[in-house]
């Protein structure tokens, strides 16, 4: 597994190195020892205590979601299909505060993201079906949910496909400006 830095402070891309042959492939999708060594924090990987998975049809957008309080760290990967994954830095004082970066996650490269606490996260399914897996460092608490509308003009996220479906909750999410006023 290779670990790459990104344009956003503290966000990492984890790149598995699959073995391919006539049977298909085998890959290690996560290596706790390599992850902990890269962070310089033995045992950091043990914090990931909850796994979740979503399935989305092509064009669906899920996001932009975040957590208040301590936030949450997560590992995100696309196990089936492909997604356009977007992060926005919410951490005041961060050198990349307010900046966004998009990543393609898919079932060909197996790249996945380490997202530290303090980011908005969302994605759009690029394929007919996309399964996204999340490994999260603490249980979900709906009282800490934050959200910004996927089409907020201040964020101006460039979604690559026409939007097919957005949940009622995501469609009613507030604005970037309103969220900043509460931070």
Which residues in 67-92 are b (16+ Cβ under 10 Å) and which e? beeebbbbbbbbbebbbbbbbbbbbe
pLDDT of 23: 80
User: pLDDT digit of tens for each residue in the chain (183 aa)?
Assistant: 889 999 999 999 998 888 888 888 888 788 888 888 888 888 888 888 788 899 999 999 999 999 998 899 999 999 999 999 999 999 999 999 999 999 999 999 999 999 999 999 999 999 999 999 999 998 888 899 999 999 999 999 999 999 999 999 999 999 999 999 988
pLDDT of 138: 87
pLDDT of 181: 93
pLDDT of 144: 94
Q: Residue 70: is the preceding peptide bond cis (ω within 30°)?
A: no
pLDDT of 179: 96
Q: Which position among 65, 84, 114, 140 bears the catalytic label?
A: 65
Assess contact for 56 and 74: CB atoms under 8 A.
no
Give how many domains the chain has, as a whole number.
1
Residue 150 a catalytic site member: no
The DSSP letter of residue 46 is G
Strand (E) or helix (H) holding 134: strand 129-136
Q: Which position among 84, 112, 121, 134 bears the catalytic label?
A: 134
Range of the domain at 138: 2-182
Residue 134 a catalytic site member: yes
The enclosing domain of 144 has a CATH number of 2.60.120.10
pLDDT of 140: 83
**Which residues are registered as beta bridge partners of 88?**
100, 120
């Amino acid at each position: 597994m290779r670990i790459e830095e990104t344009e956003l402070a503290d966000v990492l891309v984890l790149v598995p190195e699959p073995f391919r042959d006539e049977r298909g492939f085998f890959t290690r999708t996560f290596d706790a020892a390599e992850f902990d060594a890269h962070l310089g924090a033995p045992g950091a990987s043990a914090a990931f205590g909850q796994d979740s998975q979503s399935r989305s049809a092509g064009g669906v957008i899920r996001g932009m979601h975040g957590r208040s309080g301590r936030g949450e760290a997560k590992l995100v990967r696309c196990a089936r299909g492909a997604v356009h994954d977007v992060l926005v830095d919410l951490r005041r004082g961060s050198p990349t505060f307010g900046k966004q970066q998009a990543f393609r996650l898919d079932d060909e490269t197996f790249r996945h993201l380490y997202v530290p606490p303090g980011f908005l996260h969302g994605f759009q399914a690029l394929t007919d079906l996309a399964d996204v897996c999340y490994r999260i460092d603490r249980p979900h608490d709906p009282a800490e949910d934050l959200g910004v509308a996927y089409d907020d003009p201040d964020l101006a996220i460039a979604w690559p496909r026409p939007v097919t479906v957005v949940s009622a909750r995501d469609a009613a999410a507030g604005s970037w400006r309103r969220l900043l006023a509460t931070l």
